[in-house]
Amino acid sequence: MPLQLSQSALTVLSLCQRKFQHVYWDQLSGLMPTEQRSHLEWGSRFHHLMQQRDLGLPLHANSADDVSFYRCMEALVQTVPQIFDPSAWRDRLSEHRRSLRLGDAVFTVVYDLLLLGDDQAQIIDWKTYPRPQQSHWLSQHWQTRLYPFVLAETSDYSPDHISMTYWFVQPYLTEPIPQSITFPYSTAQHQQTRQRLTTLVEHLMASLAAYQDGQPLPQLPEGSAACEDCAFALRCQRGAYAIATPALPTLTDIAEVVL
């Protein structure tokens, strides 16, 4: 069976191999901090509403949260009307899933919105948090690399004619102002991503064989910042659950035992 991988799985793997094992191979769900959980819930609610709008389904504001999300949605439509106009594109696909087999792995992506023109393709992704000040970390994020890679491999668009744009909206602002970051893709990046994915799959296959022989994937070193708010900190005895190792007394401090 090939490995099933997504951008989330690659992101977790790049953060901590043991966490990847717990989530994807052990199928464990840990204790997620409340703030992290509510951000995830906002994100999925907003994506759901955007999809409903695209399908032309009636939208009803049943709660203060819904009102806030609609405000964000309308702000997006006002700011970039062309991405919501089906007549501006050869094809316009919402929540569109694609899979790609590469060696021993299948990579699956889900595009929030895919805009296909005659010779250009744009990948659009919605984010429900403020636009980051520095775009470098986002340019290095697995989503920014994997999404254009899979599109280039599964369509006629050359990498140089693909781009990825993140749109950031902030729920609970009275007047949300959407902001964006666009990353053009290129043939050079495509080759680099292929090389990285190929190496990563080979490494993961070796790790999987070792895991099936009872050898867990490595943890992060003790004291790592990522362990502080990790859902598996208790299981790993890291962060707030770290067990302090008692300091050993020096030889001169140990009283002589008279036999």
Residue 100 CA to residue 4 CA, distance in Å, equals 10
Compose the 215-254 pattern: x for residues touching ligand SF4 by CB under 6 A, - for all others: ----xx---x-xx--x-xx--x-x----------------
Of the candidate spans 13-21, 101-109, 111-119, 177-185, the one that interacts with ligand SF4 by CB under 6 A turns out to be 13-21
Q: Is 18 in the site for ligand SF4 (CB under 6 A)?
A: yes
Minimum distance, C-beta of residue 67 to ligand SF4, in the bound complex (Å): 37
Residue 219 CA to residue 18 CA, distance in Å, equals 5
Window 163-222: residues binding ligand SF4 (CB under 6 A): 219-220
> Could you tell me which of 25, 21, 28 has the C-alpha nearest to residue 217?
21
Minimum distance, C-beta of residue 15 to ligand SF4, in the bound complex (Å): 7
Residue 115 CA to residue 89 CA, distance in Å, equals 6
- At 64, the amino acid letter reads A
Give whichever of 31 and 110 is closer to ligand SF4, judged by the CB atom.
31
Give whichever of 86 and 221 is closer to ligand SF4, judged by the CB atom.
221
* Other Cβ atoms closer than 10 A to 212: 9
12: Cα within 13 Å, side-chain hemisphere: 16
Minimum distance, C-beta of residue 30 to ligand SF4, in the bound complex (Å): 8
Give whichever of 225 and 254 is closer to ligand SF4, judged by the CB atom.
225
Torsional class of 258: left (φ above 0), alpha (ψ -120 to 50), beta (otherwise) = beta
User: Which residue among 3, 12, 19, 178 contacts ligand SF4 (CB under 6 A)?
Assistant: 19
Residues sharing a CB contact under 8 Å with residue 248, sequence separation 6 or more, in sequence order: none
**147 in Cβ contact with 129 (< 8 Å):** no
Minimum distance, C-beta of residue 7 to ligand SF4, in the bound complex (Å): 18
Give whichever of 147 and 232 is closer to ligand SF4, judged by the CB atom.
232
Give whichever of 103 and 218 is closer to ligand SF4, judged by the CB atom.
218
The rounded Cα 124 to chain-centroid distance in angstroms is 14
Give whichever of 19 and 71 is closer to ligand SF4, judged by the CB atom.
19
Minimum distance, C-beta of residue 178 to ligand SF4, in the bound complex (Å): 33
> Could you tell me which of 234, 238, 236, 237 has the C-alpha nearest to residue 224?
238
What is the dihedral angle through the alpha carbons of 133, 138, 140, 146, rounded to the nearest 10 degrees?
-170
Minimum distance, C-beta of residue 22 to ligand SF4, in the bound complex (Å): 6
Give whichever of 19 and 53 is closer to ligand SF4, judged by the CB atom.
19
**24 in Cβ contact with 9 (< 8 Å):** yes
Binding site for ligand SF4 (CB under 6 A): 16, 18-19, 22, 219-220, 224, 226-227, 230, 232-233, 236, 238
